[in-house]
Amino acid sequence: MGWAIFVTNVPPEVWSAKTVAQVYGLRWRIETIFKAWKSHFRLTEVPRSSAAQLAAMIYARLIFVTVFAQTCASRQAFAWAAVAPPLSLLQMAGLVGDFFLCLCLEAWRCPVRESWWRQLNYHGRYERRTRTHFVEIFTKLS
């Protein structure tokens, strides 16, 4: 019906109805930023570690989100930002979250394929354990 109802404790002499609506739009942007951080940058996940490791992780994540926010704020400086439609903060955060390792490797001039295989070789293997795993069971069946 074209209505927008805002409840505020700011007196009308301080902010007009139009200003309240504009501020609400900014507040919504802040909510979107927090959603991007929590959903795509795993800020709510806190691993068990020492106090020093936890502090370092928190500082690293805060530095990262600050750099991300500055990059998003200045994205108009990039030539490709002029292409319509504009970039979505949430979709950009999702892609950065998904491809963060590749972006870091590229920045450090590491060959991505070689680095991927190194990580896969180290982290992608079954753990040494007494219980047999799928590959051992399948090999015995063949």
User: How confident is the model over 60-70, as pLDDT tens digits?
Assistant: 888 888 888 77
Q: Give the CA-trace dihedral at 99, 100, 102, 105, to 10 degrees.
A: 170
User: How confident is the model over 22-53, as pLDDT tens digits?
Assistant: 888 788 878 888 888 888 887 777 878 888 99
The predicted structure's pLDDT at residue 14? 94
Secondary structure of residue 10 in the 3-state scheme = coil
Cβ–Cβ under 8 Å, residues 39 and 93: yes
To the question of pTM greater than 0.85 for the whole model, the response is no
Which tokens is 101 given? 């390792």
pLDDT band at residue 71 using 50, 70 and 90 as cut-offs: confident
